Amino acid sequence: MNDSEPRDFIRKIIDEDLESGKHAEIVTRFPPEPNGYLHIGHVMSICLNFGVAAETGGRTYLRFDDTNPGKESPEYVEAIEKDVHWLGFDWGDRLTHASDYFDRLYQSAIELIEKGVAYVDSLSAEEIREYRGTLTEPGKDSPYRDRSIDENLDLFARMYAGEFADGEHLLRAKIDMASPNMNLRDPAIYRIRHIPHQNAGDKWCIYPMYDFAHGLSDAYEGITHSLCTLEFEDHRPLYDWFLDQLQPEHRPRQIEFSRLNIAYAITSKRKLNALVEEGVVSGWDDPRMPTIAGMRRRGYPPEALREFVVRAGVTKKDKLIEMGALENCVRETLGDSAPRRMAVLRPLKVVLTNYPEDQVEVMEAKNHPGNPDFGTREMPFSRELWIEQDDFMEDAPRKFFRLKPGGEVRLRFGYIIRCDEVIKNDDGDVVELRCSYDPDTRSGTGTSDRKVKGTIHWVSCKHAVDASVRLYDRLFTEANPNAVEDFHSVLNPDSLETVSARLEPSLGELAAGETVQFERLGYFCKDAVDDGAIFNRVVTLRDSWAKLEKQALQQA
């Protein structure tokens, strides 16, 4: 963000804290739980936390809040590190885990017991729910709430030693069972889980709860501003309560901002995991998924995601942003950076009957129409060509300026051709066009000044690369699938179409993960996971969903 751009409310707070001398340096953290892959919502948090620190010469920690070993794995840790790096951010030597602080957290829990504000509860999980009350009714004290400090210390030490089964005891904070804020009704601090930890190994059989570990980890690292999404707003009094009780050397401040939600997508890790487990998608990196891994595999450039976050803005108001807004950022970025190539997705053969059978010409094609620095490439031209089926219409309307019986078009970087004959199969389908070319109309060197209104792309049959092209669309048919009782009911059955395409020969040399524009068709990326000539459509050239999406969001 440059100085001329308006400051969001978080940056204004940080500016004031620096100007007042409250903080000499800004220290933030991005604290993902390694229980799934990062998604578009996390992009906002990543850019915000790393961004506000970098803008002020501060530091950012990448900290894994790994307090729930039953759902965490090294796979997720590795994927998260890769995603953050790919977005363009570096944490240097500040890679940490909540589990790095398990010894300190354990001692902090003992301190709470010694102060008489934490106790070991022996109610069952069902009884704890019954005692907790509701939003309209206060809870009631556990019969174990008044255990002595010595008894609580003994029980907690035995929990640590592994004497008890999972769920047999629970360490809770002693706050207020009548509080209107449910998070303050004696929340859990530690639970028994006889599960190995992805970072700490087999050392622990009790694990701190997220709300307890998160704020203290912030304090241990000297975090100045703990930036969280709005769902943690009701947790802030608990965050502050632990800090008040334990009085760490550093006192972080929690500030909440709205989540980044996009239309026609879900960002619940539980639901995303269900899509993976049920085989609805091929994995967390399926290009239809709103995960960073999926968007990277699809071909979204990181610059586009960062720009999308800037345009979305940092606010306190929940928002559902059009998918088209993200796709426009992708188009704008790739429009300048992606070289042009020619590909035919739904091939229709054209035979130039007056072109020499064995002749092959080399056409010079621009790699980018708006930037001569991209240079040119050579494209072979021969008697038999592939064109798009949509570029021919037998019963064409008056304003159809592509190929039709008796009609003429220019082949891009090639000649003007005329359709003389239409060949059909036994079912009446058009399978071939017999055409003639005008040898005086070669692009750039033609001696004729004759012009036609239509220009289409093509690929030489004998030189074409066969490829499988995946055409992706919205994964859901509803703008807000989170509002639907069963998100499975609004899955888009047409979210993926695979076609057998023909590509110009230079595309056979494209490296995995590289993105180009297929002229007139859209932006496409060579798949970085599956072997072979497989291309993913990144985004179409125009937003065909714009009107529909706007109407759907108005109704949502």
Rounded mean pLDDT of 358-381?
A: 95
CA torsion, ordered 314, 315, 320, 321, to nearest 10 deg: -40
Q: Look at residue 549 in the predicted model and tell me its pLDDT.
A: 44
Residue 317 has pLDDT above 70, yes or no: yes
Residue 6 has pLDDT above 70, yes or no: no
pLDDT band at 160 (very low <50, low <70, confident <90, very high): very high
Q: Look at residue 544 in the predicted model and tell me its pLDDT.
A: 58
The ranges assigned to domains in the chain are 9-257, 262-339+467-555, 343-457
Name which of 81, 56, 163, 57 is nearest 120 in CA terms: 163
Per-residue model confidence as pLDDT tens digits over 513-532: 999 999 999 999 999 999 99
- Give how far the C-alpha of residue 532 lies from the chain's centroid of Cα atoms, to the nearest Å: 25
> Pairing relation of β-strands 170-173 and 188-192?
antiparallel
Rounded mean pLDDT of 339-366?
A: 97
Residue 201 has pLDDT above 70, yes or no: yes
Residue 552 has pLDDT above 80, yes or no: no
CATH assignment of 343-457, among 2.40.240.10, 2.60.120.1440, 1.10.10.10, 3.40.1390.40: 2.40.240.10
Sheet with 188-192: list strands edge to edge: 118-121, 170-173, 188-192, 206-208
Q: How far apart are CA 90 and CA 388, in angstroms?
A: 45
Give the CA angle between residues 440, 446, 448 to the nearest 5°.
65
Q: Look at residue 554 in the predicted model and tell me its pLDDT.
A: 52
Q: What SS3 state is found at 254?
A: strand
Helix axes 546-555, 323-337, angle to 10 degrees: 150
- Burial (CB < 10 A; 0-12, 13-18, 19+), residue 362, is exposed
Rounded mean pLDDT of 204-208?
A: 98
Query: At a CB cut-off of 8 Å and minimum separation 6, what does 122 contact?
Result: 144, 168, 169, 170
Residue 551 has pLDDT above 60, yes or no: no
Q: How far apart are CA 287 and CA 496, in angstroms?
A: 10
Residue 3 has pLDDT above 70, yes or no: no
Q: Look at residue 556 in the predicted model and tell me its pLDDT.
A: 47
Q: What is the largest CA-CA distance in the chain?
A: 101
Rounded mean pLDDT of 109-134?
A: 97
pLDDT band at 553 (very low <50, low <70, confident <90, very high): very low
Taking all residues of the chain, what is their mean pLDDT, rounded to a whole number? 94
- Burial (CB < 10 A; 0-12, 13-18, 19+), residue 321, is middle
Q: How far apart are CA 389 and CA 405, in angstroms?
A: 14
Q: Which of 33, 322, 327, 408 is catalytic?
A: 33
Is 261:267 a contact under the CB 8 Å cutoff? yes
Backbone angles phi and psi of 252, in degrees to 5:
-75, 160
Per-residue model confidence as pLDDT tens digits over 436-451: 999 999 998 767 788 8
Structure tokens at 270: 């539980």
Residue 4 has pLDDT above 70, yes or no: no
Q: Look at residue 73 in the predicted model and tell me its pLDDT.
A: 93
Taking residue 538's Cβ as centre, other Cβ atoms within 10 Å add up to 25
Per-residue model confidence as pLDDT tens digits over 33-83: 999 999 999 999 999 999 999 999 999 999 999 999 999 999 999 999 999
Q: Look at residue 223 in the predicted model and tell me its pLDDT.
A: 98
In this chain, the answer to whether the domains covering 9-257 and 262-339+467-555 adopt an identical fold is no
Q: Which of 259, 346, 366, 418 is catalytic?
A: 259
Domain 9-257 has CATH 3.40.50.620: yes
Give the CA angle between residues 176, 178, 184 to the nearest 5°.
45
Q: Would you call 269 a catalytic residue per the annotation? A: yes
| Residue whose structure tokens are 């968007």 | 295
Q: Would you call 33 a catalytic residue per the annotation? A: yes
Is 33:99 a contact under the CB 8 Å cutoff? no
Residue 202's alpha-carbon distances to 110, 125, 155, 205, 524, in angstroms, are 21, 25, 20, 8, 46
Amino acid at 271: K
Structure tokens at 392: 């021919």
CA atoms within 13 A on the CB side of 72: 22
Provide the percentage of residues in the chain whose pLDDT is more than 90: 93
Residue 548 has pLDDT above 70, yes or no: no
Backbone angles phi and psi of 336, in degrees to 5:
-90, -30
Structure tokens at 116: 């008489």
Q: Look at residue 7 in the predicted model and tell me its pLDDT.
A: 86
Q: Identify the architecture of domain 262-339+467-555 in CATH.
A: Beta Barrel (2.40)
Q: Would you call 303 a catalytic residue per the annotation? A: no
Q: Look at residue 254 in the predicted model and tell me its pLDDT.
A: 97
Q: Look at residue 441 in the predicted model and tell me its pLDDT.
A: 94
Residue 274 has pLDDT above 60, yes or no: yes
Residue 113 has pLDDT above 60, yes or no: yes
Structure tokens at 214: 């998160």
Per-residue model confidence as pLDDT tens digits over 452-500: 999 999 999 999 999 999 999 999 999 999 899 999 999 999 999 999 9
Name which of 288, 239, 286, 299 is nearest 262 in CA terms: 288
Q: How far apart are CA 450 and CA 378, in angstroms?
A: 24
Per-residue model confidence as pLDDT tens digits over 302-313: 999 999 999 999
Rounded mean pLDDT of 274-293?
A: 97
Judged by average pLDDT, the poorest of 153-167, 265-279, 434-448 is 434-448
End-to-end Cα spacing for the chain: 31
Q: Look at residue 2 in the predicted model and tell me its pLDDT.
A: 52
Q: Which of 11, 269, 296, 383 is catalytic?
A: 269
